Structure 1
Amino acid sequence: MNELHRRAVVADTHNDLLCAVVARPVERWAGYFRDRWLPQLRAGGVDLQTLPVFVEDAYRPEGALRRTLRMVEAAHRIAEGNADAVALCRDGAEIDEALAGGRIALVLALESAPGVGEDVELLHTLFRLGVRVASLAHFGRTALADGSGEDQTGGRLTKPGAAAVAEMERLGLLYDVSHLGIAGVEHVLELATRPVIATHSSARALFDHHRNLSDDQLRAIAAGGGVVCANFFAPFLHASDYSIDRLVDHLEHLVGVMGVAHVGLGPDFLQEVLADTTPPCCEPETVEGVPADAYLPGLEGPAGLPLLTDALLGRGWAEDDVVAVLGANVRRLYTAELGRRA
């Protein structure tokens, strides 16, 4: 790990490790995290880790809220069982305290919120439990919005979806536009009076995939003070060249369109999570028909993050710009917005 990476605050805004944790017996949750994930986060220099609560299709809709609460409970048990190494943080002051003490700051996020449905008041319940970031759709349609896989519908937010934006702004829940359909992103940006984040999305101008954001969307997010965190999932970056260079291309495009103060990292590390949660008897996991092991060599998991710093410096990036994208921008946004009541 080079010295710049070591002294930078490194923020990862999307790692589905909670899915792997809850696949273990409950008494193993904290220990499994300590044995399996903590060494990887330390090796990658991760200081600020967002933990998405993702509810698989098998639990939707009937079991979605129970699954959501179980994963939230897992995050709390991870923090309680590893209090010397991590802290579950609800605002900027708690993030600062964790980092000052050499601990990794954990932030809870909802991914598509199927456990909420039209009952927008449950966002307040989940806020009480420590959730501080939320998106309202995944690939498909929810009670609140259409995901990016439904772009052909032209769907904006539903009435409860619009109410959710207002409730999130009131509470200090940061709105995440990753996975939201084109019309939904536009609708959120029309309604939003506070910055938003895209926790794991890359540049559509470089690769025309519905999970990426257009330049107009990027500019609008930046104009509102938000941050877009590049997704590392190789099939969202290029049709065939799965390399760190293509990821750097996307980061350079984001910076060129938005300005360096509005770009971060949302790796979406999938390989180990899917290997850990898919029984050997089953077919290999895919994401929209693409094998989920189509990863960037060297960036299969968080331990590889120093390679990205090396790649950015190799492209001639200024050190201050590298530090900003590695995590300073996300830390600034989180400090300003998490838990801050309207």
Structure 2
Amino acid sequence: MSDTARAESRERARELLSTTPVLDGHNDLPWALREQVGYDLARRELTEDQSESLHTDLGRLESGGVGAQFWSVYVRTDLGGDNAVTATLEQVDCVRSLLERYPERLEPARSASEIERARELGRTASLMGAEGGHSIACSMGALRGLYELGVRYLTLTHNDNVPWADSATDEPAAGGLTRFGAEVVREMNRLGMLVDLSHTSADTMRDALRTSRAPVIFSHSSARAVCDHPRNVPDDVLGALPDNGGVAMATFVPKFVLPEVAEWDARLDRYLIERGLHPLADEDEAWRARREFEDAEPRPEARVSDVADHLDHMREVAGVDHVGLGGDFDGTVFTTSGLGDVSCYPELVAELLDRGWSEQDLAKLTWHNPIRALRAAEEVSERLRRTEPPSIATVERLDG
């Protein structure tokens, strides 16, 4: 395709995003602010260009056509028990501080109607999602507390198992969801909190789909048939989304996009671990080690077209009503070429336009599908709250 034709597609993409912007499923800015500046927001002024430090700032959100964002209130799994709960609360506090600091640009949102209201005000609707069941420390009370603070999805696991659910990247222990895990899903349905199945094992995905009475989401996962990584979604699970009403939100993380990058990244992780470094570490020593590894073994490059391949496949298997976008910006060390920060969504939309995606289908992908799933979860909650009391289940009582 000529440069002129692609430029025309980009301009058309920007026009589309001006009316139906991106509702992105996952951005780790709060954790980046914790790691880089200890939540001292004045040191990362988001009204200024932060491209040397972050994938995200307010100017790039606007130029990327991002109308709503789930900010991840993620904490690492080595912060277990009460420490995980405390750190998650600090992450929630960071998001609330951002909203107070930039009230003309960011609008708090806890429901589908509040997302749409923020759009009418010309602000980026800001929601929260907790990434990993360790953030509730096996406590239904903690789960309800996060909901009351505005958290609207919980990813059931992160990279490691929790006592009641298996992760995609850990050794199977529960075989999916335990009895307590199923009760967590049911309580999330009662609350109106979306069940997020990114990071979970395929058996956990299947158990959650059988259990959930509301739509589920994958906040940042792509198609396993295109890139055979355990973080991606198998076709049988994608195929079950129409009956559930859920949405799989494709991610841009290179190792989940391109098989060659997945293989390279696994070798890099081993290299870091052998040197006593966490694969997600952000300190200078970790970056030096990554540069040493990449100098010796150049990194393969995932491209915008590779992400589009995932979306084509996900649309074919799940249907256009069940796909969305979850970039995982500021939560990944490496980015896909052409999708390097939150300003780049028009590039992906342009690629999909050139592949024949209709404007109606693109509007579903970027905006309407996740809002529909959240609204449906709210409707399920309204019904269940009339008939079911809050769960008082414990791991000991159900799984002991």
Name the TM-score, length of structure 1 as normaliser. Answer: 0.88
After superposition, give the CA deviation of every residue in 1:202-237 in whole Å (9 maximum; x if it has no partner).
Answer: 111111110111111011122111111001111111
Between the aligned partners of 2:171 and 2:18, the Cα distance in structure 1 is 41
Structure 1 position 90, deviation (Å): 0.9
Aligned partner of 1:28 in structure 2 is 41
Alpha-carbon spacing, 1:29–1:151, altered in 2? closer, same or farther (3 Å): farther
Determine whether 1:50 maps to 2:50: no
Q: Distance in 2 between matches of 1:124 and 1:29?
A: 32
Partner of 1:284: none
> One-letter code of the match for 1:7?
T
Alignment match, 2:320: 260
Q: Which structure 1 residue ranges, 5 or more long, are not aligned?
A: 275-291
* 2:85 partner SS: helix
**Which residue number corresponds to residue 214 of structure 1?**
234
Q: Is the 8 A contact 1:202 1:212 kept in 2?
A: yes
Q: CA deviation at 1:61?
A: 3.9
Aligned residue in 2 for 1:18:
30
Could you say which residue in structure 1 is the equivalent of 2:358? 318
Find the aligned partners of 1:181 and 1:335 in 2 and give their Cα distance. 26
Q: Quick one: which of 132, 143, 147 aligns to 2:163?
A: 143
Q: CA deviation at 1:30?
A: 9.9
Q: Displacement of 1:338 after TM fit?
A: 4.5
1:336 is aligned, of 373, 376, 379, to 376
Per-residue CA deviation, residues 116-149 of structure 1 (Å, 9 max, x unaligned), is 1211221111111111111121121112311001
Q: Name the counterpart of 2:109.
A: 89
Say if 2:189 is the partner of 1:169. yes
Show the 5 A alignment for 1:206-245.
206-240=226-260, 242-245=302-305
Establish whether residue 248 from structure 1 lines up as the match of residue 261 from structure 2. no
Contact 2:23-2:66 within 8 A present in 1 as well: yes
Q: What letter matches 1:179 in structure 2?
A: H
Alpha-carbon shift at residue 159 of structure 1 (Å): 2.8
1:186 shift after superposition: 1.1
SS in 2 for 1:149: coil
- For the 8 Å contact 2:77–2:134, the answer to whether it is kept is no
1:128 aligns with 2:168: no
Equivalent-residue separation in structure 2 for 1:335 and 1:105 (angstroms):
15
Confirm or deny: 8 A CA contact 2:77 2:159 kept in the other structure.
no
* 8 Å CA contact 1:234, 1:296 repeated in 2: yes
Secondary structure of the 1:175 match is: strand
Which structure would you say has the larger Rg? 2
Aligned ranges 1:110-121 → 2 under 5 Å: 110-121=130-141
Whether contact under 8 Å (1:44, 1:303) holds in the other structure is yes
Instruction: Tell me how large the CA RMSD over aligned residues is.
Output: 2.0
Q: Which runs of 5+ in 2 are unaligned?
A: 1-10, 51-56, 261-300, 385-400
CA distance in 2, matches of 1:51, 1:161: 24
1:243/1:296 contact within 8 Å kept: yes
Structure-2 residue corresponding to 1:282: none
> Are the equivalent residues in 2 in contact too, given 1:30–1:81 (CA < 8 A)?
no
Q: Contact between 2:215 and 2:245, CA under 8 Å: does it hold in 1?
A: yes
Change (3 A) 1:140 1:25: closer
Alignment coverage as a number of residue pairs: 322
The corresponding residue for 1:186 is 206
* Structure 1, 116-125 or 259-268: larger mean CA deviation: 116-125
> 1:5: which partner in 2?
17
Alpha-carbon distance in structure 2 between the residues aligned to 1:316 and 1:45: 20
Checking the alignment, whether the CA contact within 8 Å between 1:120 and 1:163 is kept in structure 2 is no
Residue 115 of structure 1: SS of its match in structure 2?
helix
Match of 1:323, SS state, is helix
**Normalising to structure 2: TM-score of the pair?**
0.76
Q: Where do 4+ consecutive residues of structure 1 move more than 3 Å?
A: 29-36, 151-154, 338-341
Query: How far apart are the structure 2 equivalents of 1:99 and 1:136?
Result: 29
Partner of 2:98: 78
- Equivalent residue in structure 1 for 2:129, among 109, 114, 119: 109
Q: Which amino acid aligns with 2:15?
A: E
